[in-house]
Amino acid sequence: MTVAPTHTGMLFILVAPAGAGKNALMNRVIARVPGLRQLPTATTRGIREGEMEGREHLFVTESQFLDMLRQDQLLEHQVVHGRYYGVPRATVEKAMEAGEDLIADIEYLGASFIRNEYPNNVVLIFVQPPSVAALIERMRQRGDKESEIGRRLLRVPAELAFAPQCDYLIYNDDLDRAAETLYAIVVATRSKRDIMRLRQASTPPPTPFHMQAAAIVVHGDEVVYRDQPQRFPTVAVATGETPDLAALRAVRAELKIETSAEYLVHDEARDGDLLPPVSVDFVRDANGEQVTMIYVCRLPNRVDLPDGWHWVPQSQVSLPPQVQELLATSIASN
């Protein structure tokens, strides 16, 4: 699937014989998927119980329909069971350009035509009825006349033969299960579209969060501290750099102290090249999301500090609970 840069909306088309349950499936899924709405197609048939003008269809007279044809307002049209059906061009175009998703019940010839017009934005889903008997029963339940049922059954062989040309098949012998399948198709298609957008983007996707490393430098029962937002030596983790090495770099950059990995206090073994942090802090603000990997660096000697930095008793500093526990354990072991 590819997504044209100016046409990112998707049109999910349900194809099936009359009585297969397309509208019931659509209603279930529209209620669950934010931003998904039904494409109202134009028709000259009468409105049925439970339908609403402008939701399932645009109910028009034959004269109005022919006017729409003359004015090139329809993307495609067909005569089905003696009634005109057509897809409004402007509605589809505007939705695709705006990145909106539509779902529609369109007969198989019209569905095939629209797929050819928008091969990157149309998903064809065939709804397979459990039997012809089930179709007849469903049409009777919704009040179709016997003559209408007979006319609709004449199209069933051609409609069933169209199924292999669709992208998905839903066997509707159980409405709950069929609705779950349709829901999964819509969600998966949207997810795949998002991936395609990232692949086609001219610039890399924005980083979901910023990662930095901080070092809590201690000697005895004192900790290096300053009364600023960055209370401990902190740097952004560079690309390809592990956060433990970034924490040591922060100590060298902020405190002008030469350090090595042996100064890091930890209670877990390395995981490959990474020494796991003692604690993780998370902040969300106007600049985005920021994760701080916190390490403990124990100096063998008390050293002089640059201006702004001070040695402060640990009891006077708010330290993460994991750091307090590690320091208490390491002091006891010494």
The 10s digit of each residue's pLDDT in 26-85 is: 999 999 999 999 988 888 988 877 777 877 778 889 999 899 989 999 888 888 777 898
90-94: average pLDDT: 89
Residue 194 falls inside a structural domain = yes
Same domain as 267, residue 178 = no
Residue 205 falls inside a structural domain = no
pLDDT at 329 (0 to 100): 77
The answer to whether 234 and 214 have CB atoms below 8 angstroms apart is yes
> In DSSP terms, which residues pair with 294 in a beta bridge?
214, 279
Q: Could you tell me how far CA 278 lies from the centroid of its own chain?
A: 33
pLDDT at 4 (0 to 100): 47
CATH number at residue 268: 3.90.79.10
* pLDDT for 172 beyond 50: yes
Same domain as 166, residue 30 = yes
* pLDDT for 334 beyond 60: no
Instruction: Of 50-64, 111-125, 225-239, give the range with the top mean pLDDT.
Output: 111-125
Same domain as 60, residue 142 = yes
Same domain as 191, residue 232 = no
* pLDDT for 270 beyond 60: yes
Confidence of residue 205 (pLDDT cuts 50, 70, 90): low
**Phi, psi (degrees; rounded to nearest 5) at 196:** -65, -35
158-165: average pLDDT: 92
Confidence of residue 3 (pLDDT cuts 50, 70, 90): very low
Q: Which of 200, 232, 255 is the last residue of a domain?
A: 200
**pLDDT higher for 287 or 133?**
133
Q: How many domains does the chain have?
A: 2
Give me the chain's average pLDDT, please: 87
Residue 5 falls inside a structural domain = no
Please give the structure tokens belonging to residue 30: 């529209």
Q: Which of 143, 174, 200 is the last residue of a domain?
A: 200
Residue 1 falls inside a structural domain = no
Euclidean distance between CA atoms 198 and 202, whole angstroms = 9
225-249: average pLDDT: 90
* pLDDT for 307 beyond 50: yes
Same domain as 273, residue 174 = no
* pLDDT for 271 beyond 80: no
* pLDDT for 15 beyond 90: yes
Please give the structure tokens belonging to residue 248: 């040591």
Same domain as 18, residue 100 = yes
Same domain as 267, residue 119 = no
pLDDT at 2 (0 to 100): 46
Same domain as 295, residue 221 = yes
Same domain as 36, residue 137 = yes
Residue 292 falls inside a structural domain = yes
Residue 4 falls inside a structural domain = no
Residue 311 falls inside a structural domain = yes
273-291: average pLDDT: 84
Same domain as 218, residue 319 = yes
DSSP string for residues in 175-204? HHHHHHHHHHHHHHHHHHHHHHHHHH-SSP
* pLDDT for 1 beyond 60: no
CATH number at residue 34: 3.40.50.300
* pLDDT for 333 beyond 80: no
Give the residue numbers spanning the domain of 173.
11-200
Same domain as 42, residue 112 = yes
Please give the structure tokens belonging to residue 240: 């390809």
| CA-based nearest residue to 152, from 13, 16, 12 | 16
Q: Could you tell me how far CA 307 lies from the centroid of its own chain?
A: 49
Residue 6 falls inside a structural domain = no
The answer to whether 294 and 319 have CB atoms below 8 angstroms apart is no
Euclidean distance between CA atoms 135 and 148, whole angstroms = 12
197-218: average pLDDT: 77
| Per-residue buried b or exposed e for 56-89, using 16+ beta carbons within 10 Å of the residue's own CB | bbbbbeeeebeebeeeebbbbbbebeeebbbbbb
pLDDT at 331 (0 to 100): 56
pLDDT at 21 (0 to 100): 87
Q: Which of 150, 178, 200 is the last residue of a domain?
A: 200
Same domain as 139, residue 288 = no
